[in-house]
Chains A and B, each alone.
Chain A
Amino acid sequence: MAQRYWNEKIEKMELAEMRKLQSERLVAQVKHVWDNVPYYRKKMEEKGVTPDDIKSIDDLHKLPFLSKADLRDSYPYGMLAAPLSDCVRIQSTSGTTGKRVVSFYTQNDVDLWEDCVARAITAAGGTKEDVVQVAYGYGLFTGGAGLHGGSHKVGCLTLPMSSGNTERQIQFMMDLKATILCCTPSYAAYIGETLQEMGYKPEDIPLKAGIFGAEPWTQAMREQIEATLGIKAYDIYGLTETSGPGVAFECEEQSGMHINEDNFIAEIIDPDTGEVLPEGSKGELVFTSITKEAFPLLRYRTRDICILSRGKCSCGRTLVKMTKPMGRSDDMLIIKGVNVFPSQIEEVLIKDFKAAPNYQIVVDRVGTTDTFEIKVEISDDMFSDTIKDISTLEKKIGADIQQILGIRAKISLVEPKSIPRSEGKAVRVIDKRKLV
């Protein structure tokens, strides 16, 4: 495939030039926030920092952090840095009241966001000849709006499907020859499963690529989706707080996501001390939006744990790469005192047991002890007509998971389709301890 870039100048910019651009934009952005966001100005004053102290990207570490709690405190207008009359859009997370993040956009913010997504679509091989099926939810969720806008920008024929109604998704996909599918990875897996059940083989499906994000997924799940749909599956990253999907995107190397550094400065910090860590360290990802007008978050703590690297990428892009988040501190479960990420369990199930990516983790507390159960849908490969074989399999899965996590889980094989399918983000964890 020919190397193609949406914005070659930016995507292949030399580091020194990029840092110069980032510095200029950062200095202006800090001033913009200081002048327009009293909430953040107060935080800066408390730390004894003024815009005069921020002369380049090297001074970024002097600025205070923002966290989800700050967004809660300042809901809904506290972080707004542009007059409401200049705003043209809001998007929001699905969190319940108090946890919900509402983000504002000027027309320029929307344009820059769509430009970022256009880079992602181009990196996945998309051109104006492509038919892009957007099966992310439309509405307040940034998934549908982001990919829709990016697809328009590239000039693709855009199918604004939204999520759900899988039969109709497949009908449009086949009839209108969709070549790029955009949705959550769990919905992509479900669409693949449905196509397989309908008797379609990967080569019958017109898709060539998929751009999947908005929830954590493993390499094993990627391989499974690629095999079922006969595509290359690309990861895309973003948060409502920073605009939406498109903050970072994968190229054909599929080994980490290039961050759109001309719009977002990324840092990795020690989540406990807040100290900035050197390149290559594993830590919490922090973003500073340097081009957003309406909702410019400075040093926003994402809770995502990952590694940044500037190693040379075969695609020719110089943009820094982030690894797939190794787990969000929000997704992490503490079971019997041990940190558990659902992605660790998914990796074992798909890789070692060829399980379809349909599983659910159920945590509860009996007395003072946590109970930990993993429900896994049984597949044809796993089934045997003797109880002994199935029990052995359950024990084997249990042993492998115990080896990875260090704690024992009860493995329950369940009937196919008994775990509810998701058309958006999959419900991987049911933590009944929280209900008490």
Chain B
Amino acid sequence: MTVKQLSVFVENRPGRLSAVTEALASAGINIRAVSIADTKDFGIMRIIVNDTDKAIAALKENGFIASAANVIAVIADDKPGSMASIMKILYNANISVEYMYAAFLNREKGSACLILRVDNNENAVEALKDADCTLISEKELSEI
């Protein structure tokens, strides 16, 4: 159970983030989570949206380079130690996390959603499910 994440190449110059978000807004796309990894000259904007295919089409039409990848969206209790326990589950299952960030997906009060990019989705999903963690599916995501 994974969700799709969009990655967009963005140059570090004024107005580019505005252009990306504007392209998504005009296509009626809702952004659920966002993170930016950057270097001095460029960044990669990673986004979870409600309709990935439509979002990619909108970005390409506006001349951006974008691609999609599967990531894991896992619910963590909003309390000390919950993230540590998720990390521990993955560590014990020998999974490495390439990067992660938080999403605006609080289905209920007192919980937070983490987006995880790992080296092995299948094993990570299995390990998290075995530990009774709640994962969000692509379908659920589009309905939130």
Contact = CB atoms under 8 A, between A and B. Distances in A.
Interface of A: 378-380, 383-387, 390-391, 412-418
B44 A378 contact: no
Contact of A380 (B10, B37, B42, B65): B65
Instruction: Determine the interface band of chain B, counting residues with CB < 8 A from chain A.
Output: 20 to 34
A383 B65 CA distance: 7
A385 B65 contact: no
A418 B11 contact: yes
Contacts of A414: 11, 42
A425 to B, nearest CB: 23
Contacts of A387: 37-39, 44
Interface of B: 5, 7, 9-11, 16, 37-39, 41-42, 44, 46, 63-67, 69, 98, 117
Nearest to A417: B63
B118 to A, nearest CB: 13
Given A385-B69, A414-B42, A415-B11, 17 more contacts: A380-B65, A383-B7, A383-B9, A383-B66, A383-B67, A384-B67, A385-B5, A385-B44, A386-B44, A387-B37, A387-B38, A387-B44, A412-B42, A415-B9, A415-B63, A415-B64, A418-B11
B10 A415 contact: yes
A214 B78 CA distance: 66
A416 B37 contact: no
Contacts of B67: 380, 383-385
B37 A378 contact: no
28 contacts: A378-B9, A378-B65, A379-B65, A380-B65, A383-B7, A383-B67, A384-B67, A385-B5, A385-B7, A385-B44, A385-B46, A385-B67, A386-B44, A386-B98, A387-B37, A387-B39, A387-B44, A390-B44, A391-B39, A413-B9, A413-B41, A413-B42, A415-B9, A415-B11, A415-B64, A415-B65, A416-B64, A417-B63
A393 to B, nearest CB: 11
A415 to B, nearest CB: 5
B71 to A, nearest CB: 10
A414 B64 CA distance: 10
A356 to B, nearest CB: 11
A116 B133 CA distance: 77
B42 A390 contact: yes
Contacts of A386: 37, 44, 98
Nearest to B63: A417
A416 B16 CA distance: 12
A417 B41 CA distance: 17
A413 B98 CA distance: 23
B63 A412 contact: no
Contacts of A417: 63
A412 B117 CA distance: 26
Given A378-B9, A380-B65, A385-B67, A412 B41 contact: yes
Contacts of A391: 39
Nearest to A414: B11
Nearest to A415: B11
A385 B46 CA distance: 8
Contacts of B42: 390, 412-414
A391 B43 CA distance: 11
Nearest to A386: B98
A416 B63 contact: yes
Contacts of B64: 415-416
Contact of B16 (A379, A383, A415): A415
A379 B63 CA distance: 11
Nearest to B68: A385
Nearest to A385: B7
Q: Lowest 9 CB-CB distances: which A-B pairs, in order? A: A385-B7, A417-B63, A383-B65, A416-B63, A387-B37, A415-B11, A378-B65, A412-B41, A378-B9
